[in-house]
Amino acid sequence: MAETELSTEFPKPDGITRWTEVMVSFTAKLGAQGRRVVLVTSGGTKVPLEARAVRFLDNFSSGRRGATSAEAFLAAGYGVLFLYRSRSAFPFAHRFPPQTWLSALRPSGPAQSGRLCLEADEKALPGFAAALQSYQDAAAAGTFLAVEFTTLTEYLHLLQAAAQALNPLGPSAMFYLAAAVSDFYVPVSEMPQHKIPSSGGPLQITMKMVPKMLSPLVKDWAPKAFIISFKLETDPSIVIDRARNALEVYRHQVVVANILESKQSFVVIVTKDSETKLLLSEEEVEKGIEIEEKIVDNLQSQHTAFICDKN
Ligand code: PAZ
């Protein structure tokens, strides 16, 4: 799908040109260092039902998968472009919701020369200092860039812009498409201007299918990149077939298949010739190991083989 085609159905939001420049310079700098760069998409998209939107179609995605995976990719040495739903889970911060640090952190004395001094009982915020350090290391090294979306339209344009930024990296670029993107939308031309009145009785809406961006991504936007999509189902009996079908239709490299109820402890990494089950044992859960560490470990090895194959 060309940029003009995307803009016809989904009008280009403000700020995309600036974000494209920021993403292009982020990836170019890391590419020049010989670093691999991954685009991690994360969280759900919001679809307005009205032009002056009061109501939206949204979904369950918390962004936890994307945030935890971004941390694992950074630890593995990747540059991470994190395209995430505003207010969804954020790398290094998502384990510390306000209720944890609001009560644990205390001013340790009056602010001095503009410096705020805080202290906390280490046990009240386990992992907090390490998370802060990891985030600040990534920020100082320039290996992490977060870009926010809220609506489906913003997501689609930012994905295209991110692909434009990553494409020059060829096989060193990875796309890790963990966001839960709406399959349905109301075209701007068919949207009511104002809040849909409840006085009209039960609501019937016809939504159009969102075009699958995996197709232009694989064919045109970043044809040399290593591309991973995710497939979520609620019926375990169909998820692998659906994953295989996606691989056949879009011809990308990997689908990570997961089921809603078990998504944090079990996934299947599906490729053209393999199915690898990744499972967290109870001991691993107790040790605080997360399934994303295993997913990223597996994909990093596959990415290495992919790069070797292309060179
Ligand atoms: O964001 P989260 O951690 O709550 O959930 C992750 C997920 C289930 C959205 C992701 O693993 C996934 O499957 N994304 C693709 C969903 C789909 O469009 O099928």
Per-residue pLDDT of the chain (311 residues; tens, 9 = 90+): 776 678 888 999 999 999 999 999 999 999 999 999 999 999 999 999 999 999 999 999 999 999 999 999 999 999 999 999 999 999 999 999 999 999 999 999 888 899 999 999 999 999 999 999 999 999 999 999 999 999 999 999 999 999 999 999 999 999 999 999 999 999 999 999 999 999 989 999 999 999 999 999 999 999 999 999 999 999 999 999 999 999 999 999 999 999 999 999 999 999 999 999 999 999 999 999 999 999 999 999 999 999 999 98
- CA 11 to chain CA centroid, Å, is 22
85 CA distance to ligand 1 middle (Å): 12
Six-digit token pair at 184? 């349905």
CB-CB neighbours of 123 under 10 Å? 7
Six-digit token pair at 281? 């044992």
Helix (H, G, I), strand (E, B) or coil at 279: strand
Atom of ligand 1 nearest to the CA of 260: 8
Q: Which of 19, 17, 6 is nearest to 148 (CA)?
A: 19
Whose tokens are 């996606």? That residue is 246
What is the 8-class DSSP label of residue 44?
A: B
Q: Which residues pair with 105 in a beta bridge?
A: 120
Burial class (CB in 10 A: 0-12, 13-18, 19+), 235: exposed
Return the pLDDT at 311.
83
| Ligand 1 pocket, residues with Cβ under 6 angstroms | 61-65, 178, 180-181, 230-232, 258, 263
In the chain, helix, strand, coil percent, each to 5? 45, 20, 35
10 CA distance to ligand 1 middle (Å): 23
Q: Which residues pair with 175 in a beta bridge?
A: 39, 227
Atom of ligand 1 nearest to the CA of 178: 14
180 CA distance to ligand 1 middle (Å): 5
β strands within 86-200, DSSP E? 105-107, 118-120, 144-149, 173-177, 184-185
Return the pLDDT at 194.
96
Dist. CA 256–CA 232, nearest whole Å: 8
- The pTM of the full predicted model, rounded to 2 decimals, is 0.97
C-alpha distance across the termini of the chain, in Å? 28
Return the pLDDT at 200.
87
Return the pLDDT at 4.
63
Q: Pocket of ligand 1, candidates 57, 58, 65, 85: which has the most ligand atoms within 8 Å of its Cβ, to mutate?
A: 65
Burial class (CB in 10 A: 0-12, 13-18, 19+), 19: buried
297 CA distance to ligand 1 middle (Å): 18
Going by alpha carbons, the residue nearest to atom 13 of ligand 1 is 232
Q: Pocket of ligand 1, candidates 69, 159, 232, 294: which has the most ligand atoms within 8 Å of its Cβ, to mutate?
A: 232
Dist. CA 229–CA 206, nearest whole Å: 27
43 CA distance to ligand 1 middle (Å): 7
62 CA distance to ligand 1 middle (Å): 8
Return the pLDDT at 3.
65
Atom of ligand 1 nearest to the CA of 60: 4
Dist. CA 46–CA 185, nearest whole Å: 9
